[in-house]
């Protein structure tokens, strides 16, 4: 299958269902249509969202739209086993076995009412995972045309090396923001740039604008307020522009369901921070100038 091209801004669906807004089918349908109209054509899912219910709700909503399936991209993640009424688990744990990966992918296909996933990611690395099992599962799913690309989420560079020794990794979804920027210095983004792995960033705003402000967040906001006037942009747009500046080509996964904020996020793609302004935000985050 041809590798998909994902929209620069990706819609994260974690809060669309019972873990957040609890949208009904009509509300979810409208939000999906609005996203696509704005050019946000990639939708990030995980089997666990909504206690294993959000994918099904989204699939029902999407089936009500007139959107052509080939014009959008469905991403899903598996590997986390939650304690839930929908699962017999006695403890939260990870499962990266061949059987579970295949079963989870097939379950996501059924719930999303689609024949294929544009990407399947292992949601969290398991201390018990074996690359041979993962590669067998991915080869099986690709052979059957059930997934187009494969990736990981929250994996360290050494864990990426372990898995990629047996199967090509196309995507690595990591936590990354002006607040949480360890990937700049721990080799993660270097590795993705070198190996042409597509980076996706969850929590790209880093809760900068939450009600509880740390000293770090206060410094960032103060710097953003100064730069906002120069770029005629909002602080949240500048936080995304800071991420988008990185040469690895990061795709922010935004969690908002507010249409105006989604529009603002899309507009952030056209903001090109100068290198000096980028470093001003980094310095504000770190609390000291770079060495």
* Domain membership flag for residue 73: yes
Supply the DSSP string of 156-222, one letter for each residue: -HHHHHHHHTTS---EEEEE-SSS--GGGTSSHHHHHHHHTPEEEEESTTTTTTSSS--HHHHHHHH
CA–chain centroid gap for 218, Å, is: 26
Pairwise CA distance, residues 105 & 68, whole Å: 21
User: Using CA atoms in the order 16, 19, 25, 26, what is the torsion angle rounded to 10 degrees?
Assistant: -50
CB 264 within 8 A of CB 240: no
Residue 131 lies in a domain: yes
132 given a catalytic annotation: no
In a domain, 169, yes or no: yes
pLDDT tens digit at each of 291 positions of the chain = 778 899 999 999 999 999 999 999 999 999 999 999 999 999 999 999 999 999 999 999 999 999 999 999 999 999 999 999 999 999 999 999 999 999 999 999 999 999 999 999 999 999 999 999 999 999 999 999 999 999 999 999 999 999 999 899 999 999 999 999 999 999 999 999 999 999 999 999 998 888 788 999 999 999 999 999 999 999 999 999 999 999 999 999 999 999 999 999 999 999 999 999 999 999 999 999 999
Q: Which residue has the tokens 């747009």?
A: 237
Let me know if residue 254 belongs to a domain: no
Pairing mode, strands 93-94 and 80-81:
antiparallel
Query: What pTM was estimated for this model as a whole?
Result: 0.97
Is position 51 within any domain? yes
Domain region containing 106: 10-175
Asked if residue 121 belongs to a domain, the reply is yes
94-98-100-104 Cα dihedral, nearest 10 degrees: 110
Classify residue 71 by burial, with Cβ atoms within 10 Å: 0-12, 13-18, 19+.
Answer: exposed
DSSP 175: E
Whether 159 is covered by a domain: the verdict is yes
Tell whether 245 is covered by a domain: no
Q: What is the CATH number of the domain that holds 59?
A: 3.20.20.100
Looking at the structure of the chain, the number of domains it has is: 1
Please choose, from the candidates 204, 180, 188, the residue with its C-alpha nearest in 3D space to the C-alpha of residue 248: 188
């Amino acid at each position: 299958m041809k590798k998909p091209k994902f929209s620069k801004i990706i819609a994260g669906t974690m809060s669309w269902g019972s873990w957040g807004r609890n949208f009904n089918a009509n509300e979810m349908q409208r939000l999906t249509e609005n996203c696509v109209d704005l050019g946000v054509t990639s939708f990030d899912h995980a089997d666990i969202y909504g206690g294993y219910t959000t994918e099904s709700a989204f699939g029902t909503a999407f089936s009500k739209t007139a959107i052509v399936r080939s014009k959008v991209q469905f991403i899903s993640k598996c590997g986390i086993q939650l304690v839930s009424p929908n699962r017999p688990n006695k403890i939260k744990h990870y499962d990266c076995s061949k059987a579970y990966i295949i079963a989870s992918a097939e379950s996501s296909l059924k719930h999303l009412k689609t024949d294929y996933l544009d990407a399947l990611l292992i949601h969290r690395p398991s201390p018990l995972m074996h690359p041979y099992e993962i590669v067998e599962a991915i080869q099986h799913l690709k052979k059957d045309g059930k997934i187009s690309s494969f990736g990981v989420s929250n994996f360290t560079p050494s864990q990426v090396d372990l898995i990629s020794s047996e199967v090509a990794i196309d995507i690595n979804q990591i936590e990354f923001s002006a607040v949480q920027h360890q990937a700049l210095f721990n080799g993660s983004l270097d590795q993705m740039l070198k190996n042409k792995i597509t980076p996706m960033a969850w929590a790209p705003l880093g809760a900068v604008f939450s009600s509880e402000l740390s000293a770090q967040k206060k410094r960032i906001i103060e710097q953003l307020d100064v730069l906002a006037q120069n770029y005629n942009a909002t602080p949240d747009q500048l936080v995304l522009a800071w991420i988008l500046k990185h040469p690895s080509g990061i795709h922010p996964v935004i969690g908002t369901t507010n249409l105006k904020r989604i529009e603002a996020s899309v507009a952030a793609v056209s903001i090109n921070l100068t290198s000096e302004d980028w470093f001003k935000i980094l310095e504000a985050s770190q609390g000291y100038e770079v060495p």
